Amino acid sequence: MAQKSCLLFGAVHILVKMGTPSDMELVERFAKGGSEEAFRELVGRHIGLVYSVARRHTGNPHHAEEISQAVFVILARRAKSLGKGVVLSGWLYHTARLTAANFQRAEIRRIRREKEAYMQSITSEEVSNEVWRELLPLLDRAMASLSAADRDCVVLRFFENKSFREVAETLGLEEGAAQRRASRCLERLRAFFHKQGLVVSASAIAGAVSANSVKATPANLGALVAARSLSPGNLGPSVQALVRQMWTRLFWPASGLVGTGALLVSTITCGALFWHSAHRQPQGGFPSSIVYRVRNAPTPPRSVNPIVHIRMTGTPGMPFQVSHSENGNEQITPGVLPSEVSFAADAFSARITVRGSGELSFEVFRDDFRLANISGARVTNGRTWQLSAGKGGSGFSVRRVAN
């Protein structure tokens, strides 16, 4: 009798699973057949995630609705080109975060520190949980420091509260591997918060994010967003402008570059990157150096006392040193990943050297303006990058120096 019950339960589970299409199946139905029902189902599943990201950034429910609308318009237009390997939750989270950040620059005209101060000023009214109140101003910056794969894992497990089994199925992993990845992600978030002066445990981060990161949306917002996304003529001018701005940023991006060692170079805030390889070839046929330059990059905002920040993540514990010139003297800062090195500079030249083997990602900021982002660099027996920028942060370039 018990065996029959188990078999019956298994059959019901399979039928239920077969009857519930995955996100990418719904995307495919919409992309190929224009199924409005499929698109409305996608909006219904993910509107809470998108709206909550936007609300967290702006603190304004009306602005959050406009941002949510823009994100799903972009999804409707981009559906045909989404690859089968895309995790839609992670894609929507990333798009919503970038759209919200762009909205703030265009509409609120506040730099990142002012935004964080504003977010902190409203947390006491909106959030009762002490840990969440401390995490809130830094959460999206911490998420931005993760790789895309780690970010997808965090969104699925802690934002959407999916089981490890569901996370593993979505990411194509074994359940144990999904658990280990989630643990590593929490540790990286904990290390990020620690660098910002916030000492909190990984378990506290997991509990606070799971309980508070996705909030209830206004009534009928999902249906309204779905309808307007499929009929762009009904969009307000501010949403149309936001869609145009984000379309340019997201889908006319820097060209991805894969060099020796599977180095992936990308940038969103700075326009296109192109590479130039030195003609001189050492023994073995590999170029002695590869230069990545920012082309058609916006000029960073003027600053009276500019500060350069180099934020490095990757294989925890991998040693590095950053050297730069300051007042005519070379300064050397050693450390281990993950870490951040900051120094006052307008025009600058700096060198990042990592030792050992593993993975390295780093972002270069002038104040809060991101000059470039290099992610997923695979290091074998050490590697060095030379960074340089002219006065005002112009003419920024990254050169990978041969070992």
Mean pLDDT score, 165-192 = 92
Residues forming a β-bridge with 401: 289, 384
Mean pLDDT score, 119-128 = 48
Report the C-alpha gap between 297 and 291 in whole angstroms.
Answer: 16
What is the pLDDT, as a whole number, of residue 18?
55
Identity of the amino acid at 256: G
Q: Quick: pLDDT tens for 54-64.
A: 999 888 898 89
CA 326 to each of CA 21, 242, 321: distance values in angstroms, whole numbers, following the listed order: 58, 40, 15
The pLDDT confidence band at residue 284, using thresholds 50, 70 and 90, is very low
What is the pLDDT, as a whole number, of residue 127?
41
Contacts 24+ apart (CB under 8 A), 82-88: 82/24, 82/27, 82/31, 84/24, 86/24, 87/152, 87/155, 87/156, 87/170, 87/171, 88/23, 88/24, 88/27, 88/42, 88/46
What is the pLDDT, as a whole number, of residue 132?
83
Interior/surface letters 129-139, b for 16+ CB within 10 angstroms, e for the rest: eebbbbbbbbb
Regarding pTM above 0.85, the answer is no
In this structure, of 99-113, 246-260, 322-336, the range with the lowest mean pLDDT score is: 246-260
Identity of the amino acid at 390: G
Asked if the model's pLDDT at residue 292 lies above 80, the reply is no
What is the pLDDT, as a whole number, of residue 179?
92
Report the C-alpha gap between 232 and 298 in whole angstroms.
Answer: 30
Mean pLDDT score, 204-208 = 87
Contacts 24+ apart (CB under 8 A), 108-115: 108/58, 111/367, 111/368, 112/141, 112/368, 113/368, 115/57
What is the pLDDT, as a whole number, of residue 403?
60
Mean pLDDT score, 358-373 = 82
Asked if the model's pLDDT at residue 269 lies above 50, the reply is no
